[in-house]
Structure 1
Amino acid sequence: MIETGIPKLDEYLEGIPPGKSLVFSVEPGVEESDVGIHVLHHNLEKGKKGIYVVSESSPKNVVRKFADFNWDVKRYENLTIVDGYSSLVGAPTEEKYVVEEPHDIRSYEDALLEILEKNGGQEGVIVFDSLSNLLDMCGEREALEGIERINKDAGSFGFATIYNFIAWPYKEALLYRIKRTF
């Protein structure tokens, strides 16, 4: 089981089974990525594999977020960062795994599948910094179809997936589909 590291939530959920996904939804103005970072850190501390997918800010912000909590990101050999931001803004990156076409959900799928296939069967967690950003960049329908495929692939490799989501004023039909997907 994948734990969130948030005692009351873990008590309620009794952990997240590998292959399942979870959305942390917040209202605009609330910093959502801290929850995902916390879950990621908790699982890295337990020796699990962690993959963090950035699409809304530089991968360097992941390092800063860890530092904000006095965690040294360099300690975690089991951490992989997937950079879906740098190609979007035309910036150079130091990350090994880069989403070449950040407006295409399949580019995210390709990068993640490559990592999962090299993982060697270790259980872990994938955290997306922003489901909202993926919906806006890749198109709502395409993004959710891709997310369903990502969740299925992640599950077949023993990973749980976690998405941070800002509940902007999307159409009710989209919010319903998000709830159904997760």
Structure 2
Amino acid sequence: MIPSGIPRLDSFLGGGIPKGKTIMYLIQPEVEGEIFGMQTLYKNLEEGRKGVFITTKSDPQIIKENFEKYGWDISKYGDKLIFVDAYSSLIGSESDAQYLIKNPNDINSYDCIIKEIVEESEAIVTFGSLSSIIDLCGDDAIKHVEEWNKMFNANNAIGVYNFTNWPYSEEVKTKLNEIMNAVIRVGGIGERVILGQYYGILKADWLEKAKGNLMFKIAEPGGVKA
């Protein structure tokens, strides 16, 4: 088991996330939920594991600054943390990331990089925004995600996906739910104004019965707090 880094979530999950599994944070659009994937990654860096962050919405420097905002010093982990930059090529910018996706609109361009990273070590691979990958590459991306998940399983790696729950087709949502080992809903209470935030377990296939809900807040520094 590896820790999720999210308050009380590990106890709901029976001790954490088993190696080779995937977890998707299903995030309500109005809620600041992408921190969940970041916090899971950082906790495992603290535990001495190799981490990978795949960014599609901003360049790696912005992501590094976001980690710092929550009080997480990633600089001390050196080459234990790898960035895969799937953003800079979209805007014609240069990148100093260790891995650069040259054509982020082509889902095939992700495959060999993910394969190389996963086969090197039992890494925890965090996708900053799976929804952005689907927006860029279309629904066919889901078939590739399914193959990545098989790679994670075969290599004792962990796949962590942030997915913003925009109005995609039910077919897309159903398929994503099917190919993930665990799905955690990250939502808000209220409609036009979010009065509170919570997470709840929708699925965890290593448990006989998965359940658990918790209100949370986000602190700077500190991240997700109960």
- Same fold by TM (over 0.5)? yes
Structure-1 residue corresponding to 2:45: 44
Q: CA RMSD in A?
A: 1.2
Q: Which one scores higher on RCO, CA 8 angstroms, separation ≥ 6?
A: 1
106, 129, 133: which one pairs with 2:108?
Answer: 106
SS of structure 1 residue aligned to 2:51: strand
Q: Normalising by structure 2, report the TM-score.
A: 0.75
Structure-2 residue corresponding to 1:118: 120
Deviation at 1:116, TM superposition (A): 2.5
Structure-1 residue corresponding to 2:94: 92
154, 159, 162: which one pairs with 2:160?
Answer: 162
Distance 1:62 1:73 in 2: 10
Structure-1 residue corresponding to 2:194: none
Amino acid at match of 1:18: K
SS of structure 2 residue aligned to 1:104: coil
- Alignment check: 8 A CA contact 2:27 2:34 kept: no
Distance 1:155 1:177 in 2: 18
Equivalent residue runs for 1:11-90 within 5 Å? 11-14=11-14, 15-77=16-78, 78-90=80-92
- Alignment check: 8 A CA contact 1:37 1:65 kept: no
- The unaligned stretches of length 5 or more in structure 1 are none
User: How many residues are treated as equivalent by the alignment?
Assistant: 178
Q: Normalising by structure 1, report the TM-score.
A: 0.93
Deviation at 1:32, TM superposition (A): 2.3
Deviation at 1:108, TM superposition (A): 1.3
Identical aligned pairs, as a percentage? 37
Structure number with the higher strand fraction is 2
Deviation at 1:7, TM superposition (A): 3.4
Structure-2 residue corresponding to 1:177: 175
- Alignment check: 8 A CA contact 1:2 1:124 kept: no
Distance 2:32 2:61 in 1: 17
SS of structure 1 residue aligned to 2:19: coil
Amino acid at match of 2:104: P
Deviation at 1:62, TM superposition (A): 1.5
Structure-1 residue corresponding to 2:196: none
Distance 1:99 1:117 in 2: 18
Q: Which has the larger radius of gyration?
A: 2
150, 153, 156: which one pairs with 1:152?
Answer: 150
SS of structure 1 residue aligned to 2:8: helix
Runs of 4 or more off by more than 4 Å in structure 1? none
Distance 2:41 2:95 in 1: 22
